Structure 1
Amino acid sequence: MCGIVGLHLRNPELYPRLGELLAGMLGEMQDRGADSAGIAVYGDPDWTPPGNGNVCLLGVDRDPAGAAAAVGDTLGTTVTGKLVENTLILSAPVASEELLGAARGLFPDSLVAGFGADLAVLKGVGAPRDLAKSWGLARASGWQGVGHTRMATESAVTPSGAHPYAVGPEQCLVHNGSFANHATIRRDLRREGVEFDSENDTEVGARFVAHRLARGGGVEPALKELCDTFDGFYTLLVSHRDSFAVVRDAIACKPAVIAETDDWVAMASEFRALAHLPGVSSARIWEPEPEVVYAWTR
């Protein structure tokens, strides 16, 4: 069944409250998916120091300082390591892709949860409210965040199956629904050199979008092409460092609601996740139309 939440802040005065608001939204979606959860936060200076490239890893069997020092020796620069529950966040004054290459070389068995400037991605198995508390999400700040609560139907309950799928730089995708032809598209992408970390159908959608963006296209054309290519029932939320986009399939049977004010844009699978947001009583609220891409830019 799964639950999606996303918050794009327009008013900088709300940046210190991003984590608090996102944690409340995520908790309201726990009934839609209680086996695992994940979040992506853009702009928190404690997790991702400004001006640095960042990589978030799961399954690194070394202490944060030792892991960071090893990556730093490879790159010839200072790398810091912060452990947030089970996620190691590496930061360095280099491009995120360069940091990612060094980390993958040293920790080939680890799972890359996400990478990019100003981006932290955390995933875990368990109840979403408990995970949000263990991450200290309510203390996070920033300008944008997305989250997902999962009820597994097509792959194992593991961190690798949890959303968001952040497989491109600063790009995240969360998904409620099911892709019917994901196996065929996975084979097509593999023939083009795309590698996968899980058997989750959502990862196929995320890799498809990242592959199109890497060719130089924008988020909106990539999502329109996804609608033409993928069969199934789905609501997708795709975030980038400076953008936030929502699209549903042609049937639009998966629930979704969008709310917008001068201070923020928010999206969730159910309105109850939006009900606590400041100024929601005067927000413009609507259900997204089938196959229409709704996008906002910072």
Structure 2
Amino acid sequence: MCGIVGLHLRNPDLYPRLGELLAGMLGEMQDRGADSAGVAVYGDPKWAPPGRGCVCLLEVVATAEDAAAAVSEALGTPVSARLIDETLVLTADTDAETLLAAARGVFPQALVAGFGRDITVLKGVGAPRDLAQRWDLAAASGWQGVGHTRMATESAVTPSGAHPFAVGPEQCLVHNGSFSNHAGIRRELRASGVHFDSENDTEVGARFVAAQLAAGRDVETALKELCATFDGFYTLLVSNRDSFAVVRDAIACKPAVIAETDDWVAMASEYRALAHLPGVSDARIWEPEPEVVYAWTR
């Protein structure tokens, strides 16, 4: 049992409240998973300044100042760094893939939590409400956020096993459930050159979707292919900087609810995570149908 939350804002007047609203949603899902938690925030100008590549790393043994100096030297251009709890957030006036390559060269053992434009991914072990406070999530702004509270079943309680899994540029996947055939799919992906950071079944789904998107498929096609390939029980939320999509397995035994207004689209494992959203009393609210991909784009 885990908790999923996601919020896609349509009304720019709400952008300053993204973190506040997302933190409330995450906290309501704490009793569905208090082992660890994570968020992906799209559009916060403090964490990921517009026009700059952003890379989020875990398990880096260095101060922000030392990390910035080392990666700046490797990259050949100035790099800014800040520590948000245990996540090192690097930004530079270059594309994220180039920045990521330089950061990996300096910190080869680091765990890449996420990378891209306009995205910040924070993950940690502990109670979700405590983590949200340490991140100062309520002060974040932006147009989209995704969160997850984890009750570990498939792998150890570590930052590498926490969601979101953000393995492609600006991409993010969170998962409630269990893939039963992930080991075989992992072997196939590894044979094709895909690297894995954990033994978590969710990472297999994230790497699969990332490979589909890299091959030129859109998110709806990628998720339909996932439904045809993966066995098990799951509710998934997949996002990039411009889209937000939800799908459930053929039996749809893992809970999910979607709410939509003119100002926002939101989903969560349970309605109580949506109850504080502005205008929710006037929202269209429904339970997603099995194997139907629901997608929204900026």
Q: Is the TM-score greater than 0.5? A: yes
Aligned residue in 1 for 2:19: 19
**What's the CA shift for 1:215?**
0.8
Aligned partner of residue 116 in structure 1, secondary structure:
strand
CA distance in 2, matches of 1:216, 1:103: 27
Residue 8 (structure 1) shift: 0.1
**C-alpha deviations, 1:119-138, integer Å up to 9, x for none?**
00000000000000000000
Residue in structure 1 matched with residue 35 of structure 2 by the alignment: 35
1:250 paired with 2:272, answer: no
Aligned residues: 298
Equivalent-residue separation in structure 2 for 1:109 and 1:73 (angstroms): 18
Q: Give me the whole-angstrom Cα distance separating, in 2, the residues matched to 1:34 and 1:170.
A: 26
Q: CA deviation at 1:70?
A: 1.0
Look up the SS of the partner of 2:117 in the other structure. coil
Offset from partner CA, 1:187-216 (integer Å, 9 cap, x none): 000011000000000000000000111111
Aligned to 1:177: 177
- Matched residues in 2 for 1:206 and 1:266: separation? 21
How far is the alpha carbon of 1:76 from its aligned partner? 1.1
SS of the equivalent of 2:166 reads strand
String of CA shifts for 1:240-274, please: whole Å, max 9, x gaps: 00000000000000000000000000000000000
- The 1-side partners of 2:50 and 2:89 are apart by 14
User: Runs ≥4 in structure 1, deviation > 4 angstroms?
Assistant: none
Equivalent residue, structure 2, for 1:110: 110
How far the C-alpha of 1:20 sits from its partner, in A, is 0.1
Aligned counterparts, 1:107-186, within 5 A: 107-186=107-186
Amino acid at match of 1:122: L
Cα distance in 1 for partners of 2:129, 2:71 equals: 33
The answer for unaligned runs of 5 or more in structure 2 is none
The percent of aligned pairs where both chains have the same amino acid is: 81
Q: Which amino acid aligns with 2:87?
A: T
Pairwise CA distance, 1:154 = 1.0
User: Tell me, what secondary structure is at the counterpart of 1:132?
Assistant: helix
| TM-score, scaled to structure 1 | 1.00
Which residue identity does 1:22 align to in structure 2?
L
**Match of residue 239 from structure 2:** 239
The aligned amino acid for 1:265 is: V
| Cα displacement (A) at 1:179 | 0.1
- Letter aligned with residue 136 of structure 1: D
Cα distance, 1:65 vs. partner?
Answer: 1.3
Q: Which secondary structure state, in structure 2, belongs to the residue aligned with residue 165 of structure 1? A: coil
CA distance in structure 1 between the aligned counterparts of 2:81 and 2:24, rounded to whole angstroms: 28
CA deviation profile, 1:71-119 (whole Å, cap 9, x unmatched): 1111111100010000000000101000000101110111000001010
Residue 212 of structure 2 aligns with an amino acid whose one-letter code is: R
User: 1: CA distance between counterparts of 2:75 and 2:153?
Assistant: 41
Letter in 1 for 2:272: R
Residue identity matched to 1:266 = A
Aligned residue for 1:190?
A: 190
C-alpha separation in 2, matches of 1:255 and 1:145: 20
SS at match of 1:120: strand
Query: Partner letter of residue 27 of structure 1?
Result: G
- Give the match's secondary structure for 1:157: coil
Does 2:265 align with 1:265? yes
Distance in 1 separating the partners of 2:140 and 2:177? 29
Alignment partner, residue 86 of structure 2: 86
Task: Look up the match of 1:276.
Answer: 276
**Alpha-carbon distance, 1:26 to partner:** 0.1
Distance 1:151 1:249 in 2: 20
Q: Secondary structure at the match of 1:167?
A: coil
Q: Secondary structure at 1:236's aligned position in 2?
A: strand
Q: Which runs of 5+ in 1 are unaligned?
A: none
Give RMSD over aligned pairs.
0.4
Aligned: 1:205 with 2:215: no
Deviations 1:262-288 (A, max 9, x none): 000000000000000000000000000
| 1:72 match | 72
* Counterpart for residue 61 of structure 1: 61
